[in-house]
Amino acid sequence: YYLQKACKYRDMARAFFEKMTGSRLIMDSMNDAQALALYLEAEKRGIPVEIISKRDIRKSRAKALGLNFLWFSNEIVRTLFRTVKRRPARDKSKMVFFFHGAKFYASLRPVIAEIAEKSSGKVAIIAKGETANGDRSPTQTGQPIDFDDFRDFKYLGKLLQCSFRIRKELHKHLSCIARQPGPSLFREPRYLGYLFKTWFQDTAYRSIRSVLLADRALERLQPGVVIVADPTDYVTKAFTLTGRTRGVSSFCIQFGMASKYDSEWRYFKQDYLGVMGAEIAAIMKNNGIPEERIYVLGNPRYDSYFPDDHLKDRVRKDLNVPDSHVLVAFMSVPPVTEGIGKREAGLSLQEYETILAMVYELPDRLENMVLAVKPHPEEFEYIEYHKTFMGAEGPRKNRIRLIQNRNAYEIMNASDLVITMQSTTGLEAILLEKPLIMVNITDREDYVNYASSGAACRVSRREGLVPAVQSLLHDHETAEHFRRTRKQYLKENLGYMYQSARRSADVLLGLIH
């Protein structure tokens, strides 16, 4: 994935110089992959480069060394603490469910309950990180085990040994590549060296840690299959790849919507995949996943996704929404910036701010309306943007509810209309029979097909949002049209949506028998 991004930045640098004219390149710094790609391309073309800010490399190396020392010290302390505190269950388990967030547990928990009813064998549930301190309520099969509880002295010894060995091997291979002849990207030692150093600093040690902890967990539990819900997480992949060396199969239950633009599915590592519908199965097949390893199962967390009028009344009361007002729910998503080791950027910061401005002006433009804004769980670093657009005390702020302590289902169930961008919450709104607006002000295709299939109203211009809200809420013919198209969308694309936990449990039990 790092190499893919590096090639992308090299191509961007070439395109930049082919379009631009000038005899000199001035750069503020050369501290990231994009800047380095520009610098090397300018050097090839004989264009002088002036760098305004020149970082002291010795200081940066000292800083990296210090951070590595702190990281290893932290690992030693945590291992000692876990060893003294408690040890995880060592009982053999026919299945291991691994998750690293409450939202992923929501997809796995119904399946765990179904398996508990259908089979008497032991199932282990492993939680990573903060989730272990969050939703750890026992299921019928027991309480989730904290991933960190698999630390012991054997793990610590292997961690130190592997980390130093891999670092040594990495530098040896970089030196060999640098001496190879040829114009390829991989023969550019500075660019490739920067790339691998970035990867090593960002990912290597924690990846080694995850592989070793996953190996300790599988050694103790000896399952027949590992079930996960996130294909991209590095700990999830550690379980998958380590399990493969031990003859343990892996199964990924699709959590959110998938698009042909999702690059992470090109790096899918699990043995089997359970998807929501036939259209997504086709996307996965095009990404190179063998058809015989794809199961159309629906999504277990949506088995209980039904409108709840009692809950709706209670939430509206809690939010102080007058009976005479409509409640519009905005399910926000964060911007994604470009960078080495990051997923593809789908929403720039400028586009994100424009959409916030569009939505937050709705209370000023529409009467008898309350706006409920639910930021995405990964949007915490952008909360101040929301507060800025809310403004100070006044009429606008009195009709806006910025909600961080309720789940998305409760907010959408209580709403009269849902607005979102490229989010799974769009599908959830359709399941809850809510009018849906998909906002896309970019020049790119929609990330998901809700609007193109007719199940949602697409807004592509700032001035188009208010008329769309008015039409969906107050024009009976428009509202009825979208009600029919939403039902048709569910019928055509998500016919397997309900009883997904039962189907998933049957498939998983079949894998180990």
Q: Which CATH class is domain 81-154+205-302+503-509?
A: alpha beta
Look up residue 292 and give its DSSP letter. Answer: G
Whose CA is closest to 402, among 330, 475, 327, 338? 330
- Burial-class residue 368 by CB neighbours within 10 Å (0-12, 13-18, 19+): exposed
Torsion on CA atoms 305, 298, 430, 478, rounded to nearest 10: -140
Separation of alpha carbons 441 and 437, rounded Å: 12
Angle between helices 57-85 and 153-179 (to 10 degrees): 150
Q: Where are the domains of the chain?
A: 1-57, 81-154+205-302+503-509, 309-493
Edge-to-edge order in the sheet of strand 326-331: 400-402, 369-374, 326-331, 417-420, 436-439, 457-459
Structure token pair of residue 295 = 């199961």
Query: Most distant CA pair in the chain: distance in Å?
Result: 74
Which CATH number fits the domain 309-493, given the four candidates 1.10.10.10, 3.40.50.2000, 3.30.700.30, 3.40.50.620?
A: 3.40.50.2000
Edge-to-edge strands of the sheet including 145-146? 145-146, 123-127, 95-99, 225-228, 249-253, 272-275, 294-296
Three-state secondary structure call for residue 175: helix
Same fold, 81-154+205-302+503-509 and 309-493: yes
Structure tokens at 438: 């998909």
CA distance 448 to 257: 8
pLDDT in tens, the chain (513 residues): 666 677 778 888 888 898 887 788 888 877 777 888 888 888 888 899 888 876 544 455 666 677 778 888 888 888 888 877 766 556 788 899 998 877 888 889 999 999 988 887 789 999 986 544 444 444 445 578 888 888 888 898 898 888 888 877 776 766 665 555 544 444 555 666 666 666 776 777 888 889 999 999 999 999 999 999 988 788 888 889 999 999 999 999 988 777 777 777 777 889 999 998 888 899 899 988 999 999 999 889 888 888 999 999 999 999 999 999 999 999 999 987 665 555 555 788 899 999 999 999 999 999 999 999 999 888 888 999 999 998 866 677 789 999 988 889 999 999 999 999 888 899 999 999 999 999 999 888 888 889 988 999 999 999 999 999 999 999 999 999 999 999 998 887 766 667 899 999 999 999 887
Cite the beta strand spans of 128-190 per DSSP E. 145-146
CB atoms within 10 A of CB 487: 13
Q: Is the dihedral of CA 153, 134, 343, 349 positive or negative?
A: negative
| Prediction pTM value | 0.79
Given the structure tokens 């291992």, which residue do they identify?
Answer: 79
DSSP 3-state percent helix, strand, coil across the chain (nearest 5): 55, 10, 35
